[in-house]
Structure 1
Amino acid sequence: MTPPVLTTARLTLEGPDPADLPDFAAMWADPLVYAMIGGRAFTREETWHRVLRHIGHWQVVGYGNWTIRERASGRIAGSVGLMDSRRDTVPSFEGTPEMGWALCSWAHGRGFGGEAVAAALGWADAQGIARTVCIIDPANTASIGLAGKMGYVRVADATYRDAPTLLFARAAPDVSPSASR
């Protein structure tokens, strides 16, 4: 599937592109970005694998991540989207699409996260994806607040890679119980 392009007042969400590797390698090497997402810098190689995973999600499961661009400048602001991550979390949420977001540090505090997540969830809702989850580091108060604004409710204290994490879930509005994906 070709990722749809989503447009908001200030952002464009577009499919992942291998040409964006330098921007994402810089983002994932920034301590202000990775501090709450993995706790360590990602190498260029690991970031390349992430870009390939983002591209592959669209091809294999029909949803995935978008690259977030600021419309005014064209500058990459981060990524947002859905994943079939099959994480080894306790409790498990396998089979439920996982929403994730990460912003370049220059984009923090500007409302881009909420704008991008709302656009991605609007697309997911329109596709009939009845329920999504997200996991967030307990210290990441900004993402916990954003998740709450987007309708996510904390459903469990979880463990991922031997570290505590919080599991949140969101039901799509006006989705009948039979419409699930």
Structure 2
Amino acid sequence: MTTPTLHTGRLLLEPYTPADEDGFVALFQDARVSRWMGDGPCAESEDRALFGRIFSKVYAQELFDVWAVRQGGRLVGHAEIKPSPSPDVDGHEIVYALAPAAWGQGFGTEIAQTLTSYGFDALGLTEVHATVDAENAASLALLGRIGFRHVRDTVEDDGSTTRVLTRSAGAGNAGADQPR
């Protein structure tokens, strides 16, 4: 299974190319973005190694789908749907990040709707999950608007709280863009 190119109303989600490395690293090095991703900000060398693993492991072994998010040909974000590494989530979760310059334009909603629809339609999932830092009000609100429901909270080793949200295939999602 090769990661397909997906379209939303205004965005293109396509597999990364090696030329995207600097843009990927810049996105993940921005503390406003990385504070919500994984364990938070890391060294530039770690982000470069992560980018390399997208090609050497994820794409090479077809482990899961991961995309560069573009608007008008410009890299504005990152998206993926993958088996959840969290023991608190049984199934696939969506992950998305946008450059701060792209915030507040509805792109996050387009990405999350498209990833969710892809999970149901292309992957045949019955549920799609998201794990979100309890302080990330923007992502929690976005996911709530598109039909995700809060399932439980998990307290992390550092004392922070992660919210587990789930959307079932039968849940309503008025106005959702479907992948083309």
Per the normalisation by structure 2, the TM-score is 0.82
Other-structure match for 1:33: 33
Partner of 1:164: 161
- Measure, in 1, the Cα distance between the counterparts of 2:167 and 2:49: 28
| 2:170 is the alignment partner of 1:173 | yes
> Which of the numbers 95, 109, 122 marks the counterpart of 1:114?
109
Deviations 1:121-172 (A, max 9, x none): 2221112111121111111000001111222110001134443211111112
Specify the alignment match of 1:177 in structure 2: none
- Would you say how many aligned residue pairs link Structure 1 and Structure 2? 168
CA 1:9–1:145: 2 relative to 1, 3 Å: same
2:176 is matched with none
Q: Secondary structure at the match of 2:46?
A: helix
CA contact (8 A) 1:125 1:173 kept: no
| C-alpha contact 2:2 2:62 (8 A) present in aligned 1 | no
Q: 2:89 aligns with which of 86, 93, 118?
A: 93
| CA RMSD between the two structures | 2.1
Identity %: 29
- Distance in 2 between residues matched to 1:170 and 1:54, nearest whole Å: 26
Q: How is 1:70-85 mapped onto 2 (pairs within 5 angstroms)?
A: 70=71, 72=72, 74-85=73-84
Partners of 2:141 and 2:54 in 1: how far apart?
A: 25
Q: CA deviation at 1:21?
A: 1.3
How many angstroms apart in 2 are the aligned matches of 1:167 and 1:43? 27
Deviation at 1:173, TM superposition (A): 2.8
The farther-off stretch of 26-35 and 96-105 is 26-35
CA distance, structure 2, for counterparts of residue 85 and residue 47 of structure 1: 20
Give 1:7 shift.
Answer: 1.2
Matches of 2:164 and 2:119 in 1, distance apart? 19
For residues 68 and 29 of structure 1, do their structure 2 counterparts lie closer, same or farther at Cα, with a shift above 3 Å needed? Answer: same
C-alpha contact (below 8 Å) 1:100/1:134 kept by paired residues: yes
Q: Residue 11 in 1 paired to residue 22 in 2?
A: no
Unaligned runs of 5+ in 1: 175-181
Equivalent residue number for residue 143 of structure 2: 147
1:109 and 1:102 mapped to 2: Cα distance? Answer: 13
